[in-house]
Amino acid sequence: MTPQRPVSNKSRATAPKSKRSSGNTGQTTGPLKQLAEKPALPKYPDQRVGVFVDVSNMYWAVRRLRASLNFKKLREAGVGERKLIRAVAYAVESGSSEEKKFFDALTKSGFEVKLKELQVFSGGKKKADWDVGITMDIVRMAPLLDVVVIVSGDGDYVPLIEYLQNTGHLVEVMAFQEGASAKLVEKADAFVNMSKDTSRFLIR
């Protein structure tokens, strides 16, 4: 098995709306531009990879760009020529009529889809948050993986990244620069700035 941490160093799916902010913690300026240019880590065919997509976070990032996300290309880019173990997309059910078509498109793109109902609190406040669920799934699957790919710009995943790195895993983040936390990017071992290749990742 290749050491996990080096010593040196077109399926269209438009997410249905949910009442959730992008949840990005940290600044999106400053070091982010520089980190987006850092060299990619070497990738090896025997690395076991898990790809985990925070669909709501990606939806709000892509919505600002007035496009749809190509989930099939996203999965292919996350895995590369390595060994895919799990590809999971975490989405929210809000009760809209367009949801089934979207979830079917996710499945056809090669993702296992996990759903959570939109929570409605007294007073009309709505919340849809997969952060804890995604974190727990990744921690449980970590012993089967060498590389964890987190598709989100949410800075709340920083403690998860630190935990994974301390257990010998490589962590890669994929996100659009406009919606990514600088701290998240800084902590990751590698960052794929999807804003630099919109012709690949977006469908307009």
CATH code of the domain covering residue 58: 3.40.50.1010
The reply to whether 1 falls in a domain is: no
- Pairing relation of β-strands 83-93 and 48-54? parallel
Q: What is the 3-state secondary structure (H, E, C) of 25-48?
A: CCCCCCHHHHHHCCCCCCCCCCCE
**114 pLDDT above the threshold of 90:** yes
The dihedral through the CA atoms of 50, 55, 59, 60 has a sign that is negative
Tell which wins on pLDDT, 3 or 107: 107
> Quick one: pLDDT at residue 119?
66
User: How far, in Å, CA of 53 to CA of 102, rounded?
Assistant: 14
**Contact call for residues 89 and 53 (beta carbons, < 8 A):** yes
Q: Based on the structure, what is the number of domains in the chain?
A: 1
User: How far, in Å, CA of 30 to CA of 91, rounded?
Assistant: 31
Instruction: State the pTM of this model.
Output: 0.80
> Quick one: pLDDT at residue 126?
58
The reply to whether 22 falls in a domain is: no
Q: In Å, how far are 8, 106, 111, 168, 170 from 50, measured between CA atoms? A: 23, 16, 11, 15, 11
pLDDT-based confidence at residue 124 (cuts at 50, 70, 90): low
> Quick one: pLDDT at residue 6?
44
pLDDT-based confidence at residue 196 (cuts at 50, 70, 90): very high
The reply to whether 144 falls in a domain is: yes
**109 pLDDT above the threshold of 90:** yes
**23 pLDDT above the threshold of 90:** no
The reply to whether 89 falls in a domain is: yes
> Quick one: pLDDT at residue 20?
42
Q: Give the 3-state secondary structure of residue 139.
A: helix
> How far from each other are the two terminal CA atoms of the chain, in whole angstroms?
41
> Quick one: pLDDT at residue 120?
62
The reply to whether 91 falls in a domain is: yes
Q: List the domain range (segments joined by +) for residue 52.
A: 28-35+46-203
> Quick one: pLDDT at residue 59?
84
The reply to whether 173 falls in a domain is: yes
> Quick one: pLDDT at residue 200?
96
Residues 155-173 have a mean pLDDT of 97
The reply to whether 4 falls in a domain is: no
pLDDT-based confidence at residue 9 (cuts at 50, 70, 90): very low
**132 pLDDT above the threshold of 70:** yes
The reply to whether 80 falls in a domain is: yes
